[in-house]
Amino acid sequence: MTALGFLHPGRPGEDDYPRIEQLLGSDIRVDLVHTDVGEDALRVDALREMGSPERLAAGMERLRLTGAETVVWASTSGSFVHGWEGAQEQVRSLAVMAGMPASSTSFAFVHAAREIGARRVAVGTTYPEEVAALFADFLRTGGLEVVATRSSGIVTADEVGTWGEEEVLTLARAADAADAQAVLLPDTALHTAAHLALLEKALSKPVLTANQVTVWEGLRLADRRVNAPELGTLFTREPIVQV
């Protein structure tokens, strides 16, 4: 049994994790601990506070009791708002607190794009434009070429959590660009696990979403490779694990 730990800000989008755990279809356990959000606002100052060391440390105390072998800070905006170097320091601090390998959703997007060979990407965000621009900057620092960015202007994670298949598909289509090799949909409050096959079929290209890449990053840290086509192209790049 491989136990993957995730610190998730608040409740929106949380049910993607048991769904993904089920779709992995192997001896993978997903342990999710909720961190205190503070103010639910997709605003730079609020997002920086959401990912503060104090809030992560409080969540880590509870996650450590689960027996998790790796930990991922399951927040895109709560990591990239600190910039590349700030997000690296956030992860280093988390690894020290946890005593185990650590990462965050922002780095998961960069690693996942590299994994599928996508250098040119289009980004569809739920965020206001200012926040979306920071994510695009983060991706560029990670070596990706952002060919298009779409902002939805939503200001709370709770609202993002109400989106269903139709809204997610509309966002992905609006974000896509002809020269993009993949479409990225950040925000772990966004439910996407049930829609990945539909999204990739509709766009005829790989789609990377926040909760999908977050779990994949946990597996990567644990040196596990699982084949789960229902979770998109990202989960077909490695051989099937025999269990």
Domains of the chain with CATH codes: 2-105+211-236 (3.40.50.12500), 109-209 (3.40.50.12500)
14-28 exposure pattern, b = at least 16 Cβ within 10 A, e = fewer: bebbebbbebbebeb
Report pTM.
Answer: 0.91
Question: Per-residue pLDDT tens for 74-108?
Answer: 998 889 999 999 999 999 999 998 999 999 999 99
Q: What is the C-alpha to C-alpha distance for residues 11 and 112, in angstroms, rounded to an integer?
A: 24
Helices 105-115/210-221 angle, 10° precision: 80
- Judge whether 124 and 150 are in contact, CB under 8 Å: yes
Q: What is the Cα 17 distance to its own chain's centre?
A: 11
pLDDT tier for residue 10 given thresholds of 50, 70 and 90: confident
Question: Per-residue pLDDT tens for 113-157?
Answer: 999 999 999 999 988 889 999 999 999 999 999 999 988 776 566
Q: Which two tokens stand for residue 105?
A: 């959703």
